């Protein structure tokens, strides 16, 4: 990842992890244009205006705008989310049943 700073100087290359850490610390400004390019870098103002931080947030989420999740990773993430939700619902049901059993035990204890 490359970006242009306040002086419009091109900075980089940096890893997604480096840029994400700077973003987390608040060092990344909305005005910085970002460039995701391969090793054959050839950038000028005429060639590209880059992508804004707001656009990256829209594409990849507010929390991790510099980490792009591909479709396969997104499907796997969604599959795991559904599995965890199903497991959580099962645990919640078990807890509710245990509460009923506990209440029944308390009632029996009072009658003894």
Instruction: Write the CATH number for 54.
Output: 3.30.1490
> Rounded CA gap, 82 and 75, in Å?
11
53 and 73 share one domain? no
Question: What is the tally of structural domains in the chain?
Answer: 2
What is the rounded distance in angstroms from the CA atom of residue 18 to the CA atom of residue 21?
A: 5
Range of the domain at 87: 69-112
Residue 55 has pLDDT above 70, yes or no: yes
Averaged pLDDT, 36-48? 55
Per-residue pLDDT band at 45 (split at 50, 70, 90): very low
Confidence of residue 71 (pLDDT cuts 50, 70, 90): low
Q: Within this chain, do residues 55 and 7 fall inside the same structural domain, yes or no? A: yes
pLDDT-derived band at 46, boundaries 50, 70, 90: very low
- What's the pLDDT at 31? 86
User: 51 and 7, same structural domain?
Assistant: yes
Strand partners, 34: 3, 51
Q: Which residues, at least 6 apart from 91, have a Cβ–Cβ distance to it below 8 Å?
A: none
Average pLDDT over residues 75-102: 91
Residue 79 pLDDT class (50, 70, 90 cuts): confident
pLDDT for residue 102: 94
Please report, to the nearest 10 degrees, the dihedral formed by the alpha carbons of residues 36, 55, 18, 41 taken in order: 20
Q: Which of 18, 63, 15, 56 is nearest to 34 (CA)?
A: 56
């Amino acid at each position: 990842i490359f970006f242009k700073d306040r002086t419009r100087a091109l900075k980089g290359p940096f890893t997604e992890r480096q840029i994400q850490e700077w973003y987390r610390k608040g060092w990344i400004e909305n005005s910085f244009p970002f460039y995701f390019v391969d090793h054959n870098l050839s950038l000028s103002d005429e060639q590209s205006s880059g992508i804004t931080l707001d656009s990256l947030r829209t594409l990849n989420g507010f929390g991790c705008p510099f980490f792009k999740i591909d479709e396969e990773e997104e499907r796997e993430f969604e599959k795991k989310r559904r599995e965890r939700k199903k497991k959580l619902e099962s645990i919640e049901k078990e807890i509710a049943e245990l509460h009923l059993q506990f209440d029944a035990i308390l009632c029996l204890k009072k009658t003894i």
